[in-house]
Amino acid sequence: MNASKDMVISGFKIPKDTHIMANFWAIDNDPNLWENPSEFRPQRFLSEDLKTFKKLEHLIPFSYGKRSCPGEGLGVVEVFLYLSSLLQKYDIKANHKTDQKLEYEFHFSITAKHNPNGNTNRGIDHKL
Ligand code: HEM
């Protein structure tokens, strides 16, 4: 979205027409919201007795606001059916030998949807 007028938010000057994007990575990795955010601990999304899902306000895989995912309801059902079918058929175990720390490289990019030349044009890509 674009700023409709010059404004100041939390001390930051935002000039009119500035393109503004929410930083979901910061929300997903905020230690004030998540205990040890980089730790793989699926049970953080479950109730104490591990029987029901917690609906966490800061869990936003379908984005937020007017352009959030209209397929959220279908997506949740699809993922549930897909995973529960797999878990019924297979016994899945973690391979602790490959338990490596995740590393990231941040980019801000825009990629062409259709490429008439057929080459691998990656569009505009700024490494941060
Ligand atoms: C687990 C499954 C899904 C996840 C995690 C997901 C996630 C998302 C996210 C994060 C966005 C926002 C993208 C952005 O801001 O650029 C989005 C947009 C969108 N999603 Fe999904 N989605 C899922 C399933 C679906 C399904 C099943 C449909 C349709 C049947 C769908 C249709 C759309 C559409 C049309 C948009 C664009 C909305 C707009 O720009 O106004 N999604 N989705």
Return the pLDDT at 60.
92
Domain of residue 20: give its range: 2-73
Question: How many domains in the chain?
Answer: 1
Compute, in angstroms, the gap from residue 26 CA to the centroid of ligand 1. 20
Please indicate whether residue 29, judged by its CB atom, sits closer than 6 Å to ligand 1.
Answer: no
Given a cut of 70, the residues of the chain with pLDDT beneath it are: 98-100, 112-128
Task: Please indicate, yes or no, if residue 8 is contained in any of the structural domains.
Answer: yes
Return the pLDDT at 126.
64
Task: Please indicate, yes or no, if residue 118 is contained in any of the structural domains.
Answer: no
Compute, in angstroms, the gap from residue 75 CA to the centroid of ligand 1. 8
Return the pLDDT at 74.
97
pTM: 0.76
Compute, in angstroms, the gap from residue 67 CA to the centroid of ligand 1. 9
Return the pLDDT at 89.
96
Contact yes or no for 1/17 (Cβ under 8 A): no
Please indicate whether residue 65, judged by its CB atom, sits closer than 6 Å to ligand 1.
Answer: no
What Rg value do the Cα atoms of the chain yield, rounded?
20
Task: Please indicate, yes or no, if residue 105 is contained in any of the structural domains.
Answer: no
List, as own/partner pairs, every contact residues 71-80 make where C-beta atoms lie below 8 angstroms and the sequence separation is at least 24, other chains included.
none
Task: Please indicate, yes or no, if residue 35 is contained in any of the structural domains.
Answer: yes
Q: Is 69 annotated as a binding residue?
A: yes
Return the pLDDT at 106.
79
Q: What is the dihedral of CA 57, 60, 66, 71, to 10 degrees?
A: -120
Each residue's pLDDT tens digit, 15-38: 999 988 888 889 999 999 999 998
